[in-house]
């Protein structure tokens, strides 16, 4: 009787090789995300984000003139150099278009992944997170809540740069702008969302060099896209810093509370 029970138990522990392969690939991809499933890694990144956010809040509140100084570096001959350069404007527009394309592709990928459970090596949970980052970051936080209600005037509209509006610190709501205001940068938040999408969805790539190249490109998109808004006088340094922090914070929160299939994969690997 005991022998029969043992054989039955052994049969229940057998795993379909194809299922184990796919699930193991999912676990590998999760580890390659750079965040991983380990609790210590997640908590470490969240703590680092909190430190960065508090540091940014303190620096831009105690030394608000940093914004004016950085913007003044790109103000020449009565205008901002980025606003008068067709080349820089073309690069900015290309990045913005790329950001929209990535968002639309993520939405389509999410719908397909729901039907197939996995797409391009990433689970539908991860595709859904990418879509949620777009909706909650650039969509809700940046454009609906902050840009529409914070009232901070753009650099090009300030008295210091030939305009009529007064400068206000980043974290101080004001009435210097009626709509589509400076805080935070919508394009910087969008570029950051695109960078996060590339970072996460490149995880299943089997070649480390290709994965690193994709992630280097993702960082470049966020940095260049954000910087061009400062060079053009459309945003302050703090506008893009807090845009990046808000979107990355949303991504970390979503990743922290996403479903974790690690235990299932570990059982399949036994």
The string of pLDDT tens digits covering residues 196-252 is 999 999 999 999 999 999 999 999 999 999 999 999 999 999 999 999 999 999 999
Distance of CA 85 to the CA centre of its chain: 27
Give the chain's domain count: 1
**Encoding tokens for residue 115?**
């039907």
Tell me how far apart the alpha carbons of residues 109 and 114 are, in angstroms, rounded to a whole number.
9
Query: At 33, is the secondary structure helix, strand, or coil?
Result: coil
**Encoding tokens for residue 44?**
């470490």
pLDDT of residue 35: 44
- Burial of 67-78, coded b for 16+ CB within 10 Å and e otherwise, reads bbeebeebbeee
pLDDT of residue 21: 44
**Encoding tokens for residue 37?**
């499933």
Q: How many C-beta neighbours within 10 Å does residue 25 have?
A: 15
Query: What are the angstrom distances between the C-alpha of 127 and each of 185, 187, 246?
Result: 24, 21, 20
Q: How many C-beta neighbours within 10 Å does residue 227 have?
A: 19
pLDDT of residue 44: 85
Q: E-assigned strands of the chain?
A: 75-76, 79-80, 118-119, 122-123
Distance of CA 137 to the CA centre of its chain: 8
pLDDT of residue 110: 94
Helix 17-32 × helix 262-269 angle, to 10°: 130
pLDDT of residue 259: 59
All residues at 6 or more sequence positions from 126 whose CB lies less than 8 Å from its CB, including other chains? 200, 201, 203, 258
Indicate whether this model's pTM tops 0.75: yes
170 in Cβ contact with 238 (< 8 Å): yes
pLDDT of residue 133: 98
Q: Give the residues of the chain that fall short of pLDDT 70.
A: 1-41, 258-270
Note down the domain range covering 48: 2-269
pLDDT of residue 32: 45
pLDDT of residue 40: 66
Tell me how far apart the alpha carbons of residues 56 and 61 are, in angstroms, rounded to a whole number.
8
All residues at 6 or more sequence positions from 95 whose CB lies less than 8 Å from its CB, including other chains? 187, 191, 221, 224, 225, 228
């Amino acid at each position: 009787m005991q022998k029969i029970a043992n054989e039955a138990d052994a049969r229940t522990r057998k795993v379909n090789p194809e299922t184990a392969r796919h699930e193991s690939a999912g676990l590998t991809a999760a580890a390659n995300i750079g965040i991983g499933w380990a609790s210590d890694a997640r908590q470490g990144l969240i703590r680092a984000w909190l430190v960065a956010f508090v540091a940014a809040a303190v620096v831009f509140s105690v030394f608000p003139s940093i914004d004016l100084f950085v913007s003044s570096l790109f103000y020449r001959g009565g205008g901002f150099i980025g606003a008068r350069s067709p080349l820089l404007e073309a690069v900015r527009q290309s990045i913005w278009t790329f950001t929209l394309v990535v968002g639309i592709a993520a939405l389509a990928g999410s719908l397909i992944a729901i039907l197939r459970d996995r797409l391009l090596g990433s689970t539908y949970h991860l595709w859904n997170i990418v879509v949620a980052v777009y909706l909650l970051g650039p969509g809700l936080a940046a454009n609906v809540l902050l840009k529409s209600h914070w009232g901070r005037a753009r650099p090009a509209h300030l008295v210091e740069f030939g305009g009529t509006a007064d400068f206000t610190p980043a974290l101080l709501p004001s009435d210097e702008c009626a709509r589509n205001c400076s805080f935070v940068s919508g394009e910087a938040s969008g570029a950051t969302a695109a960078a996060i999408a590339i970072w996460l969805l490149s995880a299943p790539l089997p070649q480390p060099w290709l994965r690193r190249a994709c992630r280097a490109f993702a960082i470049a998109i966020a940095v260049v896209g954000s910087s061009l808004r400062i060079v053009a006088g459309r945003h302050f340094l703090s506008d893009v810093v807090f845009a990046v922090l808000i979107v990355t914070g949303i991504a970390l929160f979503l990743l922290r509370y996403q479903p974790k299939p690690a235990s299932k994969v570990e059982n399949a690997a036994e």
